[in-house]
Amino acid sequence: MPVIPAEQVHAGPHPTQEQIVQTLLAGQTLLDDTPDHVIQVVDVLKSYGEVLDAYSINLIYQAEEQFLNPFPVLKYLDGDVSPAKLWRHFWHDRINFEYAEYCMKAMLWHGTGGLDEYLDSPEFASNCEAIIACKRRRDPLQGLLHPLFPQFLPELIRTAATTHALGQFWRVMSDLFIDLAEAEANGEVTSIAGVVDFIRDRLVAAAGNPITYKVRIAGQDFWVLPPEAGLTFLVDVAVPYVEAVFLRGTPFLGTVSFNAQAKQISADQSSFKYGALYADPLPSMGAGIPPSLCMQDMYRHLPERLHNWYQNCTRGEGDVRVKICQSFQKSMFCVTNAAIKGTFPHPLDSTDQAEQEANAAYANAWASRLVVARTNALG
């Protein structure tokens, strides 16, 4: 009989808001520090890192090579239109880039943080005007569309800017997760606390990385996100990503009613709780359900150690994607933990009362949102 870890059958209790605050202020980990959790988190993040590598490459390709393409039917091929790749694509032997686009659209729709502020600025509007003027001279269709629908092309440019920024963000995260797996394999990371600190240190190191984006039209370069905008990795892209994808998310078609009278979806976007930290680990594998697509992508790249660990849990291969979803959610709590730990306003060991109060307020703000998340997965 296979060994069935209790955590795969029964979820633990939900910690209170005060308990979460105390955990954060003490610099402790949200996820229990156990050997099984280390295996799950490190290996599922290694798988995710390989998937993010493909996501990043494709998003940047779309933003740079498919820019304002009215019919981007080959956008998922990264420029490789060989018969072999087309065949694999048609038979769905491929990465599901639709999930990457879902995350991009969530960021674009919720519109939080410095990136969105710049996309609403007069400087961005001026850049759009220059780009559109150049495109209209060479594209009769866009020349016709723009006077009729003056916000259409600027919105497509906003979408391209968000796509490229997310591709840059995932480039950093992919390398981070792959390096984490190597560090664990070399014995440099041996605990969940070590995982959280590793992620925190890498996030802090990349915090000031500039986020820029330009396109080439008819041999001429145009800035979409210029260096002068001062956009950086952590504040302007990573934080909005956590807000849009980890916390808010979007309700999935077929899982809740979009009927306004049913009132299953809040009219207030800021109160959305459909993100990764709130999701039920039930990938339906139904067409178009984004988490199902992501779990399938990670399944294709699952490290052998974690795959074998799953084989000895509950139904073996029968519920493997549900188990991947559970492990992935645990890992996202670790990433969130690292982000919180790295962005406290003051050192946690400060003896200054005002600084202690500021840290407590910061921890409480996070705890008020995490307390209704799936924190019963942390035990």
Q: Is residue 363 part of a domain?
A: yes
120, with CB counted inside 10 A (0-12, 13-18, 19+), is: exposed
- The predicted-structure confidence for 199-254, as pLDDT tens digits, reads as follows 999 999 999 999 999 999 989 999 999 999 999 999 999 999 999 999 999 887 77
What pLDDT, on the 0 to 100 scale, is given for residue 3? 40
**Which residues, at least 6 apart from 152, have a Cβ–Cβ distance to it below 8 Å?**
145, 146
Please give the residue range of the domain that contains residue 329: 6-377
Residue 92 has pLDDT above 90, yes or no: no
- The predicted-structure confidence for 75-89, as pLDDT tens digits, reads as follows 999 999 999 999 998
Which of 96 and 181 is assigned the larger pLDDT? Answer: 181
Structure tokens at 244: 């849009």
**Which residues, at least 6 apart from 282, have a Cβ–Cβ distance to it below 8 Å?**
322, 325
Say how many residues make up the chain: 379
Which of 235 and 280 is assigned the larger pLDDT? Answer: 235
Counted domains in the chain: 1
Residue 45 has pLDDT above 70, yes or no: yes
Instruction: State the amino acid at position 378 in one-letter form.
Output: L
> What element of type H or E holds 220?
strand 220-225
Residue 126 has pLDDT above 70, yes or no: yes
- The predicted-structure confidence for 184-200, as pLDDT tens digits, reads as follows 999 999 999 999 999 99
What pLDDT, on the 0 to 100 scale, is given for residue 283? 60
Q: Cα separation of 325 and 356, whole Å?
A: 36
Q: Is residue 241 part of a domain?
A: yes
Residue 8 has pLDDT above 70, yes or no: no
Q: Is residue 1 part of a domain?
A: no
Which of 182 and 291 is assigned the larger pLDDT? Answer: 182
What pLDDT, on the 0 to 100 scale, is given for residue 379? 80
pTM here is: 0.92
220 bridge partner residues = 217
Instruction: State the Cα angle at 51 between 45 and 53, rounded to 5°.
Output: 105
What pLDDT, on the 0 to 100 scale, is given for residue 292? 82
Torsions phi, psi for 262 (to 5 deg): -70, -25
What pLDDT, on the 0 to 100 scale, is given for residue 305? 96
294, with CB counted inside 10 A (0-12, 13-18, 19+), is: buried
What pLDDT, on the 0 to 100 scale, is given for residue 12? 65
129-135: average pLDDT? 95
Checking phi first, is residue 259 left (phi over 0); if not, alpha (psi -120 to 50) or beta? beta
Q: Is residue 287 part of a domain?
A: yes
Q: Is residue 19 part of a domain?
A: yes
Closest to 334 (Cα-Cα) out of 212, 222, 195: 195
- The predicted-structure confidence for 146-185, as pLDDT tens digits, reads as follows 999 999 999 999 999 999 999 999 999 999 999 999 999 9
Q: Classify residue 16 by its DSSP letter.
A: P
Alpha-carbon distance values, 170 to 8, 217, 313 (Å)? 29, 26, 31
What pLDDT, on the 0 to 100 scale, is given for residue 286? 60
Could you please report the per-residue DSSP string of 166-218? HHHHHHHHHHHHHHHHHHHHTTS--SHHHHHHHHHHHHHHHTT-B--EEEEET
8-27: average pLDDT? 83
40-64: average pLDDT? 97
Q: Is residue 279 part of a domain?
A: yes
What pLDDT, on the 0 to 100 scale, is given for residue 4? 40
